[in-house]
Structures are given as C-alpha cells and as structure tokens.
C-alpha cells in the first residue's frame, strides 16, 4: 500500500460511497489515491478509447494494477473508436452513461472526476470564443447532479507536485499536445500567448464569470418553474408565455444544462420555428442534439450516439424491471417482469435467477463474437452457431435479441426454441436451481 501523505486534507471528498473516473493521468491518479486513503468506499471506472493502440492498453493496465494493489473494485469499458461522428461528443456521452451505470449498479452516491483549474480556464475561453455571453460563461461547475469535482480549485502544477509527493505513477497522453481539436489549440497555443501578453486575463475573465453566475442563478430559479421531470423536459406553454429575451435565455440555459454545450447564436435565431413545431416533429440543435415536441412538452435527445443497433436497444434498471417493461423488437414484443421459480420451467417464458443478474441489463441484437454457455454444454458456444443449430431462418437470424447483464455476460438469447416453444435459451449461470427463487421472467409475443 502507498503511504498516506497529508497534503490532501482540505480537498472536499464526499463522505459516501464513490465512483472515481480514472484515465491514468496525474490528476485522476491523484484523485483515486486520495479516495483510496480516505474513509470512503471507492469504486474506480476507466474507459479504454482505443485510439492510441498499445498506449491506451497501457493506461488501462496502470489503472487496473493500482486498483488491484489497493483493493479497489474497477470497472473498465471499451469504446468503439471507429464509430462515425464527432469523437469528443461521442466519447463524452459514452463515458458519462457508463459512469452513471456503475454508480447505480454499485449503489454509490456520487461520481468524482478529476477536472482542475486549468481545465476550467480552457472551458471558459472555449465558451467565450464560441459566442458565450453574460449568462453562459459557467466554466466547469464544482458539482452538477451526481457529479463532483474535488480538484477544480487546484492547478495542474499543484496536482503534479502532490502526485509526486505521494509517490504516484501516472501516464501522459501525447495527443493532448496535438492541435487536432479546438480545446487543444486553446490549451497549447492561446493560453500560453495570453499568459505572456496579457497576464491579468484570468482575473478579467473570472470577473465576467461572477456576473454570469448571478444571472445564471436567477435564470435557474425561473427554469425550476418551467422544467418538469428531471429537468430534461421544458413546459411549452409556460415557455411561450415569456417575452422574447427571456424565452431565448431560458431556452439557452435549458439546452446547456442537458448537453453541457451552449447553443450557437444561429440556432437561437430559429426560436420561431421551435414555437411553431407540431407534436411529434423535431428541430436539430447541434452536435447531434435535437429538440422534439410532445404535446405541451419539449424534450431533448442525442441522435449522434445512436447507431442503428442502439436505436433498437433497451437499457433497463432493476426498479424499471420490477414495474414491468415491454420492448418492441424486429421479431416481436418482449415483456419483462418479476416472478418466482416454481421448481420447474413454465411453458412460454424464460425465467432467469434474478439474484445472478447484474443491473442495468441491456436487450440488444446479437453480434458476431457473442457467446453463451447453454445449460447442457461444458463450455461456451457462439450465438451464431446456436441459432444455426436451432434452424433459425437466415432472414430472422440477424434480428434475434439477447439479454446482456451489466458485467457484459449474456444471460439469454430470445427466439422460439424446441418443441416446448420456449422463447429462447438461458445461460447456465443465470438458471434457477431452487424453488422460491425470485426470477426475471421474459415472454415474447411474436409478430404475425
């Protein structure tokens, strides 16, 4: 174990179970180390983006090795770097969805990220250069929802000094020195020049930010009266009742609160189009985001992160399953509910041992390389081969759905199987063994 050094005693670490996002850099390794030596229960999460080949794998290994040495559970997920679209937008959406899944699955209270003061400076400049104004210069907030950023008041240099004093090992991402992205240009070119030629620029920018915070707080109070649900829905009638200026400001703040991006001025010029939007129609915002009208409500969604496969996928947490759920697929309607094992199979349904399933689960189409461990076999079997064995037609085969546990294990394949017409095959480790066990019960109503 790495010895505890007391430099971090004033860093605000919440006193509850935490999920710590760890890239392998100095800032996130320091944050993980501080949490590892605190009184909090800590879980680590790491995303391997795969863009740097063996370098990305080395980042993952560093995080895994530290967690193993310090007895910290770690969850790692691979990102498909070949996915088409804006990489940074896709990656951000992917990682925060993953972090939230882990938070729920581990019953943790907060997600901690290692953003620091230099990141905040970059964000303020980025927002300003993108047309930010007095109510949009927010930088990176210290907290938002379940996200906490304990290092946000420390500079990068302070973090490096603390990491060195604690004997930490970290890895540098050389792509941060490349100017392929606007944010990298700001970090590597603009900020050093401002530091040389206008040393007081930070104080001036933070003064503007303080004014922005005052205005933003006032707008937030108004938004509290206009938004419903978890803040992701905007009351159309109340929004339309505002004056032109307030209508524009509230819409901007709402979009920013949901996308973490401030809408461009040319999009805000289309407010009249949004006001005239018919129920069921949508209007593109930016970076794949779009607003859709559902009667008296506007909601916002991200089109970029959805592949054709994702559009037909369902992610379901335990509470949603307990309330009952239905999912439309190409082969029919899948119904999920809670039940109890009677000690023998029930015709027409699949019954998974609920205790063995890690939530949230995903229902998606199978893909090449997917494997399952049928009850009668010693090892695993490719789903493609399993479907061939059961004589699933070539036209129906590509649309066959599977149930995937949060840990990536395939629980079941859903299709009509055998003389009993069970709706699929259950993996051996998710089978029920004792009468009275609580079950995840799956039924399917096939399309005619």
Q: In this structure, are 353 and 292 located in the same domain?
A: no
Within 10 angstroms of residue 184's Cβ, the number of other Cβ atoms is 15
Q: Which residues of 391-426 are buried (b: 16+ CB within 10 A; e: fewer)?
A: ebeeeeeebbbbbbbbeebbbbbbbbbeeeebbbbb
Rounded to whole angstroms, the Cα distance separating 392 from 108 reads 42
User: What per-residue confidence (pLDDT) applies to 22?
Assistant: 96
Question: Which residue carries 């055998």 as its tokens?
Answer: 418
Structure tokens at 19: 């999920």
Is 216 in the same domain as 361?
no
Measured CA to CA, the distance from residue 58 to residue 173 in angstroms comes to 11
Both 259 and 170 in a single domain? Answer: no
Give me the pLDDT at residue 6, please: 40
Q: Is residue 101 assigned to a domain? A: yes
Shared-domain flag, residues 182 and 52 = yes
Between CA 292 and CA 314 the distance in angstroms is: 20
- This prediction has a pTM of 0.54
The number of distinct structural domains making up the chain is 3
Query: Do both 211 and 255 map to the same domain?
Result: yes
Q: Got the DSSP string for 209-238?
A: HHHHHHHHHHHHHHHHHHEETTTTEEEHHH
- Quick one: 378 and 272 in the same domain? no
Distance CA 419, CA 417 (A): 7
Residue 418 domain boundaries: 309-446
Q: Are 47 and 165 in a shared domain?
A: yes
Q: Is 353 left (phi over 0), alpha (psi -120 to 50) or beta?
A: beta
How confident is the model at residue 180, as a pLDDT?
A: 59
In whole angstroms, give the CA distance from residue 280 to residue 275: 13
Q: What's the CATH code of the domain at 232? A: 1.20.59.20
Query: Taking a C-beta distance cutoff of 8 angstroms, is the pair 299, 233 a contact?
Result: yes
Residue 19: beta bridge partners? 43, 111
Spacing of C-alpha 49 from chain mean position = 14
Instruction: Report yes or no on 435 lying in a domain.
Output: yes
165, 171 contact by CB (below 8 A): no
* Domain limit, last residue, from 302, 337, 372: 302
Domain boundary among 245, 277, 302: 302
- Which residue, 302, 319, 343, sits at the end of a domain? 302
Along the 448 residues of the chain, how does pLDDT read in single tens digits? 444 444 566 788 998 999 999 999 999 999 999 999 988 999 999 999 887 789 889 999 999 999 999 999 999 998 877 766 667 777 888 888 899 999 998 999 999 999 998 888 888 887 777 666 666 677 788 888 889 999 999 999 999 999 999 999 999 877 666 655 667 788 878 888 888 888 888 888 888 888 877 887 888 888 888 887 656 789 999 999 999 888 888 888 888 777 767 676 667 777 788 888 887 777 877 666 778 887 888 888 765 443 334 445 777 777 666 666 777 777 778 888 888 888 888 888 889 998 888 877 888 888 877 889 887 677 788 888 888 888 887 768 888 899 988 777 899 999 875 554 678 889 998 999 888 888 988 888 765 4
The CATH number of whichever domain residue 32 belongs to comes to 3.40.50.620
One domain, residues 403 and 295: no
Helix 244-259 vs helix 201-226: crossing angle, to nearest 10: 100
Do 222 and 336 reside in the same domain of the chain?
no
CA 130 to each of CA 100, 111, 142, 199, 341: distance values in angstroms, whole numbers, following the listed order: 29, 28, 22, 22, 58
What six digits make up the tokens of 443? 């039924």
**pLDDT per residue as tens digits for the range 200-227:** 888 888 888 888 778 878 888 888 888 8
Which whole-number Å values give the CA distances from 240 to 1, 222, 235, 360, in the listed order? Answer: 59, 14, 9, 38
């Amino acid at each position: 174990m790495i010895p505890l050094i007391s430099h971090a005693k004033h860093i605000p670490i919440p006193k509850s179970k935490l999920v710590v996002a760890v890239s392998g850099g100095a800032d996130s390794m320091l944050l993980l180390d501080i949490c590892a030596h605190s009184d909090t229960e800590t879980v680590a999460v790491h995303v391997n983006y795969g863009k740097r080949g063996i370098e990305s794998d080395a980042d993952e290994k560093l995080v895994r090795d530290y967690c193993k040495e310090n007895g910290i559970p770690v969850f790692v997920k691979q990102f498909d770097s070949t996915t088409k679209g804006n990489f940074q937008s896709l990656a951000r959406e992917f990682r925060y969805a993953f972090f939230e899944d882990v938070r729920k699955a581990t019953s943790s209270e907060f997600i901690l990220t290692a953003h620091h003061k230099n990141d905040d400076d970059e964000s303020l400049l980025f927002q300003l250069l993108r047309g930010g104004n007095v109510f949009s210069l927010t930088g990176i907030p210290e907290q938002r929802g379940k996200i906490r950023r304990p290092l946000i008041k420390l500079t990068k240099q302070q973090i490096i000094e603390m990491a060195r004093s604690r004997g930490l090992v970290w890895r540098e991402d050389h792509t941060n020195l490349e100017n392929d992205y606007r944010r990298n240009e700001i970090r590597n070119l603009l900020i050093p020049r401002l530091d040389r030629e206008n040393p007081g620029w930070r104080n001036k920018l933070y003064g503007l930010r303080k004014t922005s915070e005052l205005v933003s707080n006032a707008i937030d109070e108004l938004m509290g009266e206009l938004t419903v649900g978890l803040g992701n829905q905007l009351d159309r009638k109340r929004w339309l009742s505002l004056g032109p200026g307030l209508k524009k400001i509230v819409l901007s703040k709402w979009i920013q609160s949901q996308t973490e991006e401030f809408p461009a001025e040319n999009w805000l010029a289309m407010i009249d189009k949004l006001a005239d939007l018919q129920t069921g129609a949508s209007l593109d915002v930016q970076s794949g985001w779009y607003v859709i009208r559902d009667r008296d409500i506007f909601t916002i969604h991200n089109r970029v992160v959805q592949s054709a496969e994702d559009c037909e996928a369902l992610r379901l947490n335990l509470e949603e399953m307990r309330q009952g759920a239905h999912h439309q697929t190409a082969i029919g309607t899948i119904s999920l509910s809670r039940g109890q094992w009677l000690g023998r199979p029930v015709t027409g349904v699949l019954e998974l041992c609920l205790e063995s399933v890690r939530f949230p689960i995903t229902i998606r189409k199978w893909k090449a390389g997917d494997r399952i461990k049928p009850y009668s076999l010693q090892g695993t079997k490719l789903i493609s081969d399993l479907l061939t064995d059961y004589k699933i037609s070539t036209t129906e085969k590509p649309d066959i759905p599977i149930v995937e546990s949060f840990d990536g294990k395939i629980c079941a394949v859903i299709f009509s199987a055998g003389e009993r017409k069970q709706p699929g095959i259950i993996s051996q480790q998710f089978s029920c063994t004792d009468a009275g066990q609580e079950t995840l019960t799956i039924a399917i109503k096939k399309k005619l």
